[in-house]
Amino acid sequence: MQPHSKIILIGLGNVGRAVINQLQASDMNLEIIALADRTGCLVGQPLSTDLINLAVQSKATGQKLADLPEAQPLTNLEKSFTTNTIVVDTTATRDLDWKVALQKGCSLVFANKNAHSAPWLLASHLFNQPNVRYESTVGAGLPIIASLRSQVASGDQITRIEGVMSGTLGYLCSQLEAGVSYYQAIKQAFEAGYTEPDPRDDLSGFDVLRKALILARTAGWALEESDFTVEPLYDERLVGMPVSEFFNLTSLLDKTYAQRVEGAAQEGRVLRYMATITPHGGNIGLQAVERTSPLGSLQGPGNYFAIYSQRYNQIPLVIAGPGAGIEVTANGVLNDIIALLS
């Protein structure tokens, strides 16, 4: 056992708060020594359970950490960075720089995808490091990163990764397949809270691209965004206008996607929004796959990852399941913490 026993948690959104709950419910004997959001931080040696619970409740009801009388300025957080500390980033910000934490000997756990999907020059120091974990950045709690790392560490050569990595677009594909119009499917996904506030942020494929980049780099391939071709699930007619207007125009694409679904169905196929990643680059977009294939049997928001390698060269290693959700995402963070403790 390494002497990790302290946790610093940055970000107290849904996932951050679920991490705290899961830590408290587990029998791991870990001390939370700091909590932070974008407005301030709480620091203690360790923080009392009462103060942690107060912070969780405040954030759950929309307050800022800075509203608590015990809050300190964010600049005080750095003092808590020590060698036996795990710093957990559950934010969605691009503004954090983890160099100081690493220099001070902290371990890092990321649910935030931004650091690992940044240009390689900025991101490379976060890959292939035993003290940096990022399971929840791809496929939520599914052990896809852990499995890839394990394969690489044991000397296997990854040759290709295929996957369905967006629960939102998976849901959309299932709805289109069921005969729902493009317009209705997007509206339903939006209303169910499955999409970003602007659904084009999902439909662009950019979120899938970031995940594909993280997988590629974990497999040992120093790819950049420009090494991928990405097919967005909308066209130029829906670019540029405000969200409200976008919704009104989506029915322009009803026929296009209905025809693609129909064309696939005539060949016994269904559409899936897939990423295919090789050492030299990747493709992201709609693919028509056989209805009776494992990918064809995938339903709704499920994620699916297939790893082909020197050792898994005929039948791939497949990991599938929910690729989004607060509890499973927090669970991925916990699994990373456990891996760092062992």
- Residue numbers annotated as active site: 211
Question: Least separation, in Å, of the C-beta of 297 and its own copies?
Answer: 5
Distance (Å, whole) CA 220 – CA 191: 39
322 binds its own copies (CB under 8 A): yes
CA distances from 153 to 49, 144, 229, 275, 330 (A): 38, 14, 29, 24, 25
156 binds its own copies (CB under 8 A): yes
* Residues 261-300 interacting with its own copies (rule: CB under 8 A): 291-294, 296-298, 300
Selected binder of its own copies within 10, 108, 286, 328 (CB under 8 A): 328
Backbone angles phi, psi at 189, to 5 degrees: -60, -40
Contact region for its own copies (CB under 8 A) — 25-33, 173-181, 202-210, 230-238? Answer: 25-33
342 binds its own copies (CB under 8 A): yes
178 binds its own copies (CB under 8 A): no
Number of Cβ atoms within 10 Å of the Cβ of 179: 11
158 binds its own copies (CB under 8 A): no
CA distances from 115 to 90, 96, 123 (A): 12, 8, 6
* Structural contact between residues 336 and 140, judged by C-beta atoms closer than 8 angstroms: no
List of residues 6+ apart from 199 with CB closer than 8 A? 186, 189, 190, 243, 246
Cβ nearer to its own copies, comparing 39 with 147: 147
* 3-state SS, residue 181: coil
151 binds its own copies (CB under 8 A): yes
25 binds its own copies (CB under 8 A): yes
* Structural contact between residues 314 and 288, judged by C-beta atoms closer than 8 angstroms: no
105 binds its own copies (CB under 8 A): no
153 binds its own copies (CB under 8 A): yes
Distance (Å, whole) CA 302 – CA 304: 7
338 binds its own copies (CB under 8 A): yes
Selected binder of its own copies within 120, 127, 206, 312 (CB under 8 A): 312
User: What is the H or E stretch that residue 117 is in?
Assistant: helix 114-117
Distance (Å, whole) CA 330 – CA 303: 17
Angle subtended at Cα 95 by Cα 231 and Cα 110, rounded to the nearest 5 degrees = 75
Closest by Cα among 225, 215, 277 to 119: 225
130 binds its own copies (CB under 8 A): yes
Question: Least separation, in Å, of the C-beta of 338 and its own copies?
Answer: 5
29 binds its own copies (CB under 8 A): no
Phi-psi region of 299 (alpha: psi -120 to 50; beta: other; left: phi over 0): beta
121 binds its own copies (CB under 8 A): no
Distance (Å, whole) CA 252 – CA 238: 9
Cβ nearer to its own copies, comparing 33 with 317: 317
Question: Least separation, in Å, of the C-beta of 302 and its own copies?
Answer: 5
3 binds its own copies (CB under 8 A): no
Selected binder of its own copies within 146, 230, 258, 288 (CB under 8 A): 146
317 binds its own copies (CB under 8 A): yes
Cβ nearer to its own copies, comparing 177 with 207: 177
Q: Which residues contact its own copies by CB under 8 A?
A: 22, 25-27, 130, 141-143, 146-147, 150-151, 153-156, 291-294, 296-298, 300-302, 311-312, 314-322, 327-328, 331, 334-335, 338-339, 342
